[in-house]
Amino acid sequence: AAQWQTLRACESSGHYGVVAANGHYGAYQFDVSTWQSVGGTGFPSDASPAEQDYRALYLYRMRGWQPWECAGIRHLQPDADARSKRVPGRSESAYMAPGARQQPAWPGRVYQPGDCATELKAWQQRMNAYGYGFVGTGCYGNKTSQAVLALQAANGIKTSGLLGPKTWQAAWTGTPPKQGRG
């Protein structure tokens, strides 16, 4: 979320409704053809903040930070999502919003190996802060299982391999696991 906030601050002073004299619109200073290339309609500056965030994430997944001059100026670093070509789900851009909670609420479901869910992606991406290098598929495979077990062990949570509310919370507020770092 911090990198997106930095980008918006540089591109548009964080204003979603801004229209620049050079033909760029909105918080991310899209030009109309780029906006349309990621499915946007009308003018970006007329779209809701959530729509602009979604389209910015979509563009980032297609082209990385390349479209934004400010990304270079502010030395923003790409993650595994950059140029991944994966079309995001609508909920995946929620973390980008100004004032968005850094920790998403636990989705109310216990995850286990073999499960796939959009909400799992947020947890996987959080674990990247500890060196796991998840692509963030949202599917609970071997790598997710290893991260869950390591996080549980580091935080005194029963090492069940099930990703429940305590393990979800620990990803944001607990002790970082030893595995995965580096």
For the domain made up of 2-96, the CATH class stated in words is mainly alpha
Q: Is the pLDDT of residue 179 over 80?
A: no
Give the torsion through C-alpha atoms of 160, 175, 131, 107, to 10 deg.
Answer: 60
Q: Would you list the domain boundaries of the chain?
A: 2-96, 118-173
**CB count in 10 Å sphere of residue 124:** 23
Any alpha helices (H) in 43-114, and if so which ranges? 49-63, 69-73
- Asked which of 41-50, 58-67, 97-106 is least confident by mean pLDDT, the reply is 97-106
> Looking at domain 118-173, does it have CATH number 1.10.101.10?
yes
Tens of pLDDT, residue by residue over 5-16, are 899 999 999 899
**pLDDT on residue 182:** 38
Tens of pLDDT, residue by residue over 93-142, are 877 877 655 677 888 999 999 999 988 988 888 887 677 878 778 899 99
In eight-state DSSP terms, residue 108 is S
What percent of the chain lies above the pLDDT cut of 90?
Answer: 59
- Asked which of 78-92, 107-121, 166-180 is least confident by mean pLDDT, the reply is 166-180
